[in-house]
Structure 1
Amino acid sequence: MVDEQNNITDPKELRALAHPLRWQLLEILTREGSATATLCARETGESVASCSYHLNMLAKYDFVVQADGGKGREKPWRLARETTRWTDVGLDTEGAVAAQAATSAFLDYTLNQIRERHLALAAEPEEWRDAAGMDNSTPFLTADEVLEFRTDVRKMLDRYRDRRDKPETRPDGARSVNLFFSATVLPRQD
């Protein structure tokens, strides 16, 4: 079962996620722990004003909060939530449309990132070229088995969660790795 505690159902919160730059900003904060609009602008190629605006929009809906530190107008931001999950199941039409918009923006950002990283993989050392990659499988499962599988994957990933917030726990050679998992089902044919 999907963790209901962290499941976003508010259409306004979901619409706040329906922008690809916001996903890029969330990814930077996930990787860096905290970042200013200036650092985000350097990484994204957007203006500082644009990054600041989108960080403030994410803050408005409690996805990010101001972090400690910073000097003058340079305020760092950090993630406010450890996980961000949503579904359109059980939502009214407005909520379902907002969930679909958030999903679409997330997929656009994530699939583009996966594509770019795979195209750049040839420049990586052999150990990283060997470790990175894609796997695809099409088993026949029940809905309960898919939920169980997703829960097991989350539990595996939880073993490494401390490394994001505590850099001192990262082993030598550890790098930020994006693990994208998607479970889809063939639409009914009847």
Structure 2
Amino acid sequence: MTEDSSTPSAEHPENWPQRQLRDATSLRALAHPLRLRLLELLGVHGPATATELAERVGHSPANCSWHLRQLAAGGFIEEAEGGTGRQRIWRFVPSGSSYGYSDDAPEVAEAAATASAIQLEHEVDELRTWRATRHTDSDRWRDVAFTTQSILWLTADELEELSEQVAELYLRQVRRHFEPETRPTGSRPVRLIAWGIPAKNLETEE
């Protein structure tokens, strides 16, 4: 299952609105690298027009506008007040979402797999970009940035427990993503990606 948590005004993370994406339309809205980029920009920097976003991503305003409408159709963004004519202002809809359930219908499962693959490519591209450009960052940030990998022997229950522990670490900081006033001086967006999966290629037949 893939999850993305976000923050409404509730006091505790467990009370934040959550969406279970069980329809192919919403999942297909996520299945495009430019849409993921637009969604991230709206989540991090706040409401913007297609023209403003186009300047950030290097695409035409018309192309960005079309992709923004697809995200809106999926319920991930919505129109904000203050727009005029074609200069509509879009805002991120604060919510967490999860998808990739074992009992999904075939069409939904296929859409979820596609969305997951594109999201993975997006994150790997971001890692490659960091590695290629980290020499331009400060010594301090180069020293604290990290990647880690390990092979563990776990039961299904232990993996479930580890998943919950990792999610708890995320939730300690996720409020800052959508509440700028909670961000300490000197903070910046940091990508933190985790997965725990059976190592199929290391298994032996019993």
> Normalising by the residue count of structure 1, what TM-score does the alignment of the two structures yield?
0.90
Indicate the structure with greater strand content: 2
Aligned-partner SS, 1:185? coil
In structure 1, the gaps of 5 or more residues are none
Identity of aligned residues (%): 37
Decide which of 124, 128, 146 is 2:137's aligned counterpart.
124
Which whole-Å CA distance do the structure 1 matches of 2:194 and 2:35 have between them?
20
1:64–1:77 CA contact under 8 A, matched in 2: yes
Structure 2, unpaired ranges of 5+: 4-17
1:142 to 155, 164, 168: 155
**Deviation (angstroms), 1:98:** 0.9
1:26 partner SS: helix
Q: Map 1:2-151 onto structure 2 (within 5 A).
A: 5-151=18-164
Q: Name the CA distance, whole Å, in 2 between partners of 1:167 and 1:59.
A: 23
Deviations 1:44-87 (A, max 9, x none): 11111111111111101101112233455322222224222211
Deviation at residue 21 of structure 1 after TM alignment: 0.9
* Superposed displacement of residue 88, structure 1: 4.2
Distance 1:23 1:167 in 2: 21
Q: Look up the SS of the partner of 2:82 in the other structure.
A: coil
Equivalent position of 2:8 in the other structure: none
Question: Following superposition, which runs of at least 4 residues in structure 1 exceed 3 angstroms of deviation?
Answer: 68-73
User: For residue 106 of structure 1, what is the amino acid of its counterpart?
Assistant: Q
Secondary structure of the structure 2 residue equivalent to 1:84: strand
- Residue 2 of structure 1 deviates from its aligned partner by 8.6
- Count of aligned residue pairs for this structure pair: 189
Residues 27 and 69 (structure 1), Cα distance of their counterparts in 2 relative to 1, 3 Å cut: same
